[in-house]
Copies of this chain bind each other. A is one copy, B any other.
Amino acid sequence: MTIQEIADTLVKLCSAGKFEEATKTLYSDDIVSVEAGAPPGGEREVKGLAAVLKKGEWWVANHEVHSSTVEGPLVAGSHFAVTFKMDITFKPQSRRFKMEEVAVYKVADGKIVHEEFFYSM
């Protein structure tokens, strides 16, 4: 797939809530995933497909998604950007809030090798 096709597929899958499928099909085994800040009990930077899938599982188990939108992609060279806007409840604290973030992805050899999320803590 071209980077445009990878970016379009990511947006399509994430828009349908299929985050795990996006990770399994589009990500490199050597993916590096970087948050703006470390999640509770976690690290800011996670390396490797298994660790990123585990982070996704933690996220799904701990959040209820009331609504979400994914916008983009904007593709340039080896990188693309999308935005995520979600109305979610963090279940351990029953805390409902809106989360908005920019995500930037780097593609190499037909796979996403780096992702970074930008939001204010």
Contact = CB atoms under 8 A, between A and B. Distances in A.
Which range contains the number of A residues in contact with the other chain?
20 to 34
A15 interface: no
Contact of A79 (B71, B75, B118): B118
B81 A85 contact: no
Nearest to A100: B77
Contacts of A106: 118, 120
B81 A102 contact: yes
Contacts of A120: 77-79, 106
A112 B62 CA distance: 33
A59 to B, nearest CB: 17
Which one of A99, A102, A119 has the highest number of Cβ atoms from chain B below 10 Å of its Cβ?
A102
A110 interface: no
